Amino acid sequence: MNIREEVPIKSFSISAYVCRIEDAKGRYLILKRNSSYLPDSWQMVSGKIEKGEKAWEAALREITEETGLIPDRLYSVNKLEQFYEANQNCINLVPVFVGFIDSDQPVRLSPEHGEYQWVSPDEATNLLCFEHQAETMRFIEDMFVKQKPLEFLRIKIK
């Protein structure tokens, strides 16, 4: 019998895009990392799911921890980002969320990030490290900004 090593599939983190709508177009918050993990790279909000936490709760917590913002509306994007996590030898499936900021709130960065920008999906393409992040942003623009999002994807946070 031939025994093969398998690469497990896990889901232990989230990806959260923060969006403001201006003139019927999305402006997305991207953050520049200050840490040793992916240093100086631009990204959306991301983080680990803590014990006992639902993925959407982790997204809401990470948005607030990393940016000081509290989304007025939160949706499941109904999409997964995926990548190989070499340190854990696993494929990580990452649920994606989008938080809309409708109110006037200032961005207050955590020490994990040193800079931020509000960008369009086209501008983000030249800044984000991974193409799938820009693809996700374009998907959010098409499905959540250019048209009314599906109500069943909305997560009741208030």
143 vs 83, which has greater pLDDT? Answer: 143
Distances (CA, A) of 82 to 2, 34, 103: 29, 23, 32
What tokens appear for 29 in the block? 């918050």
What confidence category does residue 129 fall into, taking pLDDT thresholds of 50, 70 and 90? Answer: confident
What confidence category does residue 3 fall into, taking pLDDT thresholds of 50, 70 and 90? Answer: confident
For residue 141, what is the DSSP state?
I
What tokens appear for 5 in the block? 């090593």
What are the pLDDT digits (tens) for 47-99? 999 999 999 999 999 999 999 999 999 999 999 999 898 888 999 999 999 99
What tokens appear for 73 in the block? 């509306």
What confidence category does residue 4 fall into, taking pLDDT thresholds of 50, 70 and 90? Answer: confident
State how beta strands 45-48 and 13-22 pair.
antiparallel
Rounded-to-integer distance, Cα 2 and Cα 10, Å: 25
- For the chain, what is the mean pLDDT? 93
pLDDT of 13 strictly over 70: yes
First to last CA, the chain: 56
Q: CATH topology for 9-155?
A: Nucleoside Triphosphate Pyrophosphohydrolase (3.90.79)
When pLDDT is averaged across residues 110-125 and rounded to a whole number, the result is 94
When pLDDT is averaged across residues 14-22 and rounded to a whole number, the result is 97
When pLDDT is averaged across residues 18-37 and rounded to a whole number, the result is 92
Ranges of each domain in the chain: 9-155
Rounded-to-integer distance, Cα 121 and Cα 117, Å: 12
How long, in residues, is the chain? 158
**Percentage of residues in the chain with pLDDT exceeding 90?**
82
Rounded-to-integer distance, Cα 71 and Cα 60, Å: 8
Q: Is 1 exposed, middle or buried (0-12, 13-18, 19+ CB in 10 A)?
A: exposed
Q: Which of 12, 14, 31, 11 is nearest to 98 (CA)?
A: 14
What is the per-residue pLDDT for 135? 94
What is the per-residue pLDDT for 91? 95
Helix (H) or strand (E) holding 124: helix 121-125
What is the per-residue pLDDT for 1? 62
